[in-house]
Every structure is written in C-alpha cells, then in structure tokens.
Amino acid sequence: MHGNPDCISVQVLGPLAASLRRQTVTPSAAKQCQILALLALNAGRVVTASALTEELWGDAPPRSSATTLQTYILHLRNRLAEAGLGTREARQFLRTRYSGYLLEEGVCETDAGEFGRLARLGRQSAEEGDQRAASDLLGHALALWRGPALADVPLGRVLESEAASLEAARLGALQRRIEADLALRRHAELVGELMQLAAHNPMNENFCGLLMTALYHSGHADRALAAFRQLRAALNSELGLEPGPWLQQLHRAILSGEAALDPALKTY
C-alpha cells in the first residue's frame, strides 16, 4: 500500500489491522471488526444496512439490530476521531447513506486493493510475454498475504463469501506466478513449493500439472508420473472422476518422453 497518512490503511490479507496517521484504529470488538472489514473491502460503494445485518446476525437479528448497528458505526467513528480526525471529519470518512454506510474510496487503502492492482499488472505482463516482470509483480502481490484473509475475524455469510473470493484470487495469482517461473526455466527451484501445494490441494489438477512439468524438466519423469497417479487416485476415491483431458495428455507425453515437444501442452 502507498501509506498515505490521510487515509485509513486496512489490512485484510491475514489478521485484520487498521491504522490512521500512524495510530492503530483496529476495533477490539468482533462485530465492529466485521463491519470495518466489510466496509473496507467495498470502499467507494455503499454497504447496505441489510447486508451488514446479515453479516452480523445471519437469519436471527435481534429486534434492536438497527439501533445496535448505528451504535457500532458510532464506535468506529470515535476510533477515527481519536486518531486525530475530529468528529466531523470522521463522519465524512465513514458516511451514512440512505440505505447503509460508505467508506469513501479516496480515504481508504487496503492490502487487498494493492494485491489486486499488482496481480492485474502481473497478468498483463504475462499476456505481453514478459515473464520476468510477471513473476516479479505476482510475487510482490503474493507477499502482501500474512495468512488467511481476515484470519482473526469471525466470518458471517457476507464476509465468508468475500474471504473465499480473495483466496480464489490468491490461488490464481500463485498459479500464474509459477507459470511465469516455469517459462523462465526455473523448474528445479519450484519442485519443493509445488509438492507442498499439491499435498495441500490433492485434487487440484492445475497444481498437479505444474508439479509434473517441473519434475519432468528437472529430470524426474518417474516422480512426475507418480504425482499423476496420486491425483488420479484422489479424484477416483473422492469424486469418482478421472483427470481432465489436458492432464491425461500431459501424462501420455511424459510416458513417451515427448512432453517438451508438444506446444499444445502446458509444459513451459
């Protein structure tokens, strides 16, 4: 993040942390943390009172939910005011709208936003054929993660969906960074990382294919074939499925020793 001192800096890629003018404004109460996280992830867009209510209480909001929500917003504004904004400016940062509340985009920076910016630049570099820049940009994006998204925040239905979306984006950026590194012929360097990823995602065909590619080009065709068998067994056992066509084609190419010769395969 750029660290603008006049912006609220909110970190969600790991434990929640918020600061303003070098002072922490992270709430201590769990529900206020949920509100701040949801507002920050939607900076510049109104988060409706109904969405906030669903996040905090699900299908069983208390009768006083509207008043309680207003109290939580007041507490958040007080934290901002205590960091030097003053009450009036705090209300301008965290605005009330007819249907809900809004953290102004220009006054809120998040690590999730910076991650998205770097990941987009990394994808663009890869599409333009600059794999070194793609690897660097995506590596910087992934370095912003300090653990699972909102690791210490209780997740209601709305934040759970947000966290799942962030995790999917992280895995996508990770895959693209590894693809860039494979294109740079860093096969042997990637084997350990890919073995861990395959172990933690035993039915992920993309990670398996990347591992098979790295192993094959590192001189370990036998281990590449073993990785395929392990994935196939997991898919058969858990889902009753076979690996997809491209992975089976990669398997056949490794068996024949021609994986590096087929441009249709994701072998880098």
Pick the CATH number of 8-110 from 3.30.565.10, 2.140.10.30, 1.10.10.10, 1.10.10.60: 1.10.10.10
Distance of alpha carbon 17 from alpha carbon 164, whole angstroms: 19
- pLDDT tens track for 42-66: 999 999 999 999 999 999 999 999 9
**Residue 199 backbone class (left: φ over 0; alpha: ψ -120 to 50; beta: rest):** alpha
Residue 147 clears pLDDT 50, i.e. is over it: yes
Structure-token pair, residue 71: 């109290």
Confidence grade of residue 260 (pLDDT, cut at 50, 70, 90): low
Mean pLDDT of 71-99: 87
Give the up-direction half-sphere exposure of residue 260: CA atoms within 13 A in the CB hemisphere.
12
Distance of alpha carbon 206 from alpha carbon 162, whole angstroms: 23
**CB contact at 8 A, 16 and 152:** yes
Confidence grade of residue 196 (pLDDT, cut at 50, 70, 90): very high
**CB contact at 8 A, 81 and 69:** no
**CB contact at 8 A, 121 and 137:** yes
Domain ranges of the chain: 8-110, 187-268
Confidence grade of residue 151 (pLDDT, cut at 50, 70, 90): very high
Lowest mean pLDDT, pick from 4-8, 57-61, 123-127, 144-148: 4-8
Q: Which amino acid is at 202?
A: P
The pLDDT score that the predictor gives to residue 261 is 46
Distance of alpha carbon 3 from alpha carbon 63, whole angstroms: 40
Average pLDDT in the chain:
92
Cα torsion at 163, 123, 194, 235 (round to 10°)?
A: 70
Give domain 187-268's CATH superfamily. Tetratricopeptide repeat domain (1.25.40.10)
**Residue 44 backbone class (left: φ over 0; alpha: ψ -120 to 50; beta: rest):** left
